[in-house]
Amino acid sequence: MNIERFRVEPGKKVDLGEWDAHQTDGLKKKEGKKLAAELVDTLNQQQEMLYARDEDAILLVLQGMDTSGKDGVIKHVVGALNPQGCQVTGFKVPTREELAHDFLWRVHRATPRRGMVGIFNRSHYEDVVVVRVDELAPESVWRRRYGLINDFERLLSLNHVHIIKLFLHISPEEQRERLQDRLVNREDQWKFKVGDLEARRDWDAYMAAYEEALGRCSTEHAPWYVIPADKKWYRNLVVSHILLRTFQDLEMEWPPLEAEAQAIETII
């Protein structure tokens, strides 16, 4: 799969209307799920090597509108990895303690150590998206944050944290269907929040906020990818390929036997 077509070029102005949320490359669901399943063993091996080497970390940032599939990616893609080497952090409304610090404080504390795969369910980008749309801070405050975010992510990359940022791009039509399902299906009603409808009414404002964040914060060391998310199975397939490519780009090898053990031939 050519994942570069999902990548936002650094410095490019983003118009999400030009990205097809319904795209599937002509694949059918059964075929796509089969292709994703074939990647699991390789992903597992790569993750185990990352953990064994303890030299690099991977940070997967998930952003998107409600119902776009952040939890689904964690369940179906990240869930295939060894949980011992994964760390999932969800960012909700900041606590009083978090608000008493700079906006990146709670995020920096949650970044993965070397050897780990960290997953952010929402992230520091809430501070240039939700904060902007809901007018929780003046423009003079949130507009400065693009540069601070780029500097922060550069700091992480210089410390061997490889960042993958995924915007799960869902259409308003598909979101309506998923919200309706949550409203009427007993097993999914716990997921339904009235606040989701309020965000839906501000759809255009959210798209504008995401477009600027994607355009201003997609860099060589921390690229943004726009993932078609109307079809859950295709979303998962694309994310699996991007994660695998990130692993492979590290060109990892298994650590050698420790020096003290190299003279041992037989265990008595």
Domain borders along the chain are 10-250
User: pTM of the prediction?
Assistant: 0.94
Greatest Cα-to-Cα distance within the chain, rounded to the nearest angstrom: 70
What average pLDDT is seen over the chain? 95
pLDDT value, residue 267: 78
Residue 137, token pair as written in the block: 């801070």
Write the DSSP symbol of residue 153.
H
Give the three-class secondary structure for 159.
coil
Give CA separation, 10 vs 35, 119, 144, 161, 214, in Å: 30, 23, 18, 19, 9
Instruction: Band the pLDDT of 8: cuts 50, 70, 90.
Output: very high
The partner residues of 50 in beta bridges, in order of sequence, read none
Give the DSSP H or E segment for 89. strand 86-90
For the stretch 190-218, pLDDT in tens is: 988 888 898 899 999 999 999 999 999 99
Closest CA to 215 of 224, 206, 202, 207: 224
Q: Are 210 and 123 in contact (CB under 8 A)?
A: no
For the stretch 96-132, pLDDT in tens is: 999 999 999 999 999 999 999 999 999 999 999 999 9
Topology (CATH) of 10-250: Rossmann fold (3.40.50)
Parallel, antiparallel or unpaired: strands 117-121 and 224-228: unpaired
